[in-house]
Amino acid sequence: MSGVKPKVLVISAHAADFCSRAGGTIANYVRAGSPVRVVDMTYGERGESNRLWLSRRNLTIEEVKAVRKEEAERAAEILGAEIRFMDFDDNPLTMNRERYEMLTSEIRDFRPTILLTHWLKDPLNPDHEVTAKAALWACVKAADPDDGKPITPNPEIFMFEPSVPTNDLSEFRPDTYIDVTETFDVKLKALREFKTQPGLPEVYTQWGMFRARQAVLRHDVHGTPGKRDVRYAEAFKRYTPWTGKYFPLSLEGC
Ligand SMILES: [Zn+2]
């Protein structure tokens, strides 16, 4: 990347979602000099902390939150991203006027060029759906001058994987693959910090290889050189439409 570096904001429902879905992409942007900020809506204290709850009796919700917060902070540090926590409580994650305004303030404060968040449909984890819709609402609100606050231009929005592997239920059909081969080791190191969810590294290694295979398939079929060395990829669905004088091209050097 040359010129002004894009600013990347990642809005994540639970403690680990930003890392499992977009950790390699985050590390790519950090390496290229982009500021990256993660906003965790919740710590995943109820819905994604089973192992912790089973580890000890009489554990309090505050103790679980503290553990998940530390895990997320360590992972974000490894990726090179800043992280903030909304502490909105999960499972179910609910939004109200105050919380919408808080999320809008995050967007106004950071002024992202690129926003990454969840896919809109995830029947197995409705918190992900709530987060996606809230992020979209906050982007619209941040670009609205009606309350006299500075207007924040809408970022390019890309949505990451729903609960893996439930694409049949969630109708997630990615159209954007980010090559994370060079940063996958960083992603794995960060994922290992989530001791409460020890299965993440294995699941997302398999999924990263699967997405890489999808990413290169079209190029293999057409014999395009330079794309077959993608060993790990992260998949996204573009939400904001591409606008330009020409079509976006994924060939090397374009
Ligand atoms: Zn989650």
User: In Å, what is the CA distance from 225 to each residue of 1, 60, 179?
Assistant: 21, 55, 15
C-alpha of residue 85 to centroid of ligand 1, in Å: 14
Domain spans in the chain, listed from the N-terminal domain onward: 8-238
Please state, in angstroms and rounded to a whole number, the distance separating the CA atoms of residues 223 and 218.
Answer: 8
Please state, in angstroms and rounded to a whole number, the distance separating the CA atoms of residues 116 and 18.
Answer: 9
Residue 158: half-sphere exposure toward Cβ, Cα within 13 Å: 23
State residue 56's pLDDT score: 87
C-alpha of residue 87 to centroid of ligand 1, in Å: 14
C-alpha of residue 188 to centroid of ligand 1, in Å: 17
Residues by chain with Cβ below 5 Å of ion ligand 1? 13-14, 17
C-alpha of residue 170 to centroid of ligand 1, in Å: 14
State residue 251's pLDDT score: 62
Q: Could you tell me the fold of the domain covering 8-238?
A: Rossmann fold (3.40.50)
Q: Which residues of 109-137 are buried (b: 16+ CB within 10 A; e: fewer)?
A: ebebbbbbbbbbbbeebebbbbbbebbbe
Name the nearest CA neighbour of 37 among 88, 97, 86, 101. Answer: 86
Name the nearest CA neighbour of 174 among 242, 119, 106. Answer: 119
Q: What is the DSSP letter of 125?
A: -
State residue 249's pLDDT score: 82
**Residue 59 near residue 31 (C-beta atoms within 8 A):** no
Q: How many CB atoms lie within 10 A of CB 105?
A: 14
State residue 236's pLDDT score: 97
**Residue 24 near residue 234 (C-beta atoms within 8 A):** yes
| Lookup: tokens for 233 | 């990829």
C-alpha of residue 15 to centroid of ligand 1, in Å: 7
CB burial of residue 33 (10 Å; 0-12, 13-18, 19+): exposed
What's the pTM value of the predicted model, to 2 decimals?
Answer: 0.94
Please state, in angstroms and rounded to a whole number, the distance separating the CA atoms of residues 101 and 71.
Answer: 27
C-alpha of residue 193 to centroid of ligand 1, in Å: 16
pLDDT, one tens digit for every residue, the chain (254 residues): 767 899 999 999 999 999 999 999 999 999 999 999 999 999 999 999 999 999 988 999 999 999 999 999 999 999 999 999 999 999 999 999 999 999 999 999 999 999 999 999 999 999 999 999 999 999 999 998 777 777 888 899 999 999 887 778 899 999 999 999 999 999 999 999 999 999 999 999 999 999 999 988 876 655 555 556 899 999 999 999 999 999 988 765 43
Between the two ends of the chain, the Cα-to-Cα distance in Å is 12
Please state, in angstroms and rounded to a whole number, the distance separating the CA atoms of residues 39 and 51.
Answer: 23
Please state, in angstroms and rounded to a whole number, the distance separating the CA atoms of residues 12 and 5.
Answer: 22
User: In Å, what is the CA distance from 117 to each residue of 28, 176, 213, 228?
Assistant: 17, 14, 23, 28
